[in-house]
């Protein structure tokens, strides 16, 4: 209960943390099922909270990758990411990092690469007017 009181956990994440303390895998599985039935453990809720937290810095691709690494299914992570506004968040991140607007092609490309490294899609980068002539791999 201490783990769940601190923050939300995915089912896989909590199972990994509790495994060394469990008497048997069957008891651990029974505990996880009981927590899910009492709505104290939810992958959907974890995905929403984690996506909102990560959205302050990262784009949809990076968030999906993080959720997958935590054991959240692709369907659940897609639903959590669908609620986010990538373009507005990308604009906020650029405003925090770069105080002045990009004036040259090189500056726009540098900012586009920065956003791409944060997990923003080419469509989001293009919507901000940073596409230039750089080739991006879509994620």
Domain ranges of the chain: 2-82, 86-127
Compute the average pLDDT of residues 40-69. 91
Retrieve residue 14's tokens.
């909590």
Q: Decide: residue 22, CB within 10 A, 0-12 exposed, 13-18 middle, 19+ buried.
A: middle
pTM, entire model = 0.75
d(CA 42, CA 10): 7
d(CA 75, CA 5): 26
Backbone φ/ψ region at 135: left (φ over 0), alpha (ψ -120 to 50), beta: beta
Q: Looking at the predicted structure, is the pLDDT value of residue 135 above 70?
A: no
Task: State the pLDDT at residue 74.
Answer: 92
95 and 119 in contact (C-beta within 8 Å)? no
> In the 8-state DSSP scheme, what is residue 139?
-
52 and 64 in contact (C-beta within 8 Å)? no
Q: Which fold has domain 86-127?
A: Arc Repressor Mutant, subunit A (1.10.10)
Task: State the pLDDT at residue 133.
Answer: 46
Q: What percentage of the chain's residues is helix, strand, coil (to nearest 5)?
A: 65, 0, 35
Compute the average pLDDT of residues 46-61. 91
The lowest-confidence range among 12-16, 78-82, 109-113 is: 12-16
Retrieve residue 58's tokens.
């990262």
Nearest C-alpha neighbor of 93 from the set 66, 111, 67: 111
């Amino acid at each position: 209960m201490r783990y769940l009181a601190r923050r939300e956990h995915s089912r896989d994440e909590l199972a990994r943390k509790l495994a060394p303390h469990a008497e048997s895998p069957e008891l651990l599985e029974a505990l996880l099922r009981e927590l899910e039935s009492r709505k104290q453990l939810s992958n959907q809720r974890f995905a929403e909270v984690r996506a909102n937290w990560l959205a302050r810095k990262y784009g949809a691709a990076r968030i999906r990758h993080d959720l997958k690494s935590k054991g959240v299914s692709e369907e659940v992570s897609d639903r959590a990411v669908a609620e986010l506004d990538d373009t507005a968040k990308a604009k906020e991140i650029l405003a925090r990092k770069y105080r002045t607007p990009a004036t040259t092609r090189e500056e726009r490309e540098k900012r586009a690469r920065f956003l791409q490294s944060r997990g923003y899609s080419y469509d989001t980068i293009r919507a901000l007017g940073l596409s230039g002539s750089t080739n991006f791999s879509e994620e």
